[in-house]
Amino acid sequence: MAKKLLRGGVDGTVVATREEKPEPVSVRLQTALHGERLRQWFRVVARLADGGVALVAVGDTREEALAMARANAADLPEETVGLTLEEWKGGLLRGGWVRRSHERNELPPVPKRRKKGRRAALAER
């Protein structure tokens, strides 16, 4: 190691010598500024005839949500008009559901609505 000369006094005379300490290797720490992690969830939602929605399945992956939707197909409400696959875009605190495209037979079939009889149709009037 190299020796460091310590000078002192008015004339700059060498007062002492000591060995130079090596500088420690700097460690670069990365810290999240906002503390919010991005998440990715998928869900399958049933659109109802009255304009409402019903949650069918939620999963961490697209395949998991679709598999759960197929397993829950028997429990779909009768007034189901269609099914939609949606993905969560954003973090834990902020974000929104975005509709995603899917293949034709990936989602379970929508239950067929029974036609109302003539008496039921007249009773609604």
What are the residue ranges spanned by the domains of the chain? 42-104
Written as one letter, the residue type at 50 is D
Q: Quick check: pTM over 0.75?
A: no
Rounded Cα–Cα distance for residues 77 and 95 (Å): 28
Question: How would residue 103 be classed by pLDDT, with cut points 50, 70 and 90?
Answer: confident
Query: Which pLDDT score is estimated for 85?
Result: 92
- 120: pLDDT strictly greater than 70: no
Structure-block tokens of residue 21: 């300490």
Task: Identify the residue whose tokens are 């998991």.
Answer: 64
Q: How many CA atoms lie within 13 A of 64 on its CB side?
A: 9
Helix, strand, coil share (%) of the chain residues, nearest 5: 15, 35, 45
Q: What is the mean pLDDT of residues 38-48?
A: 85
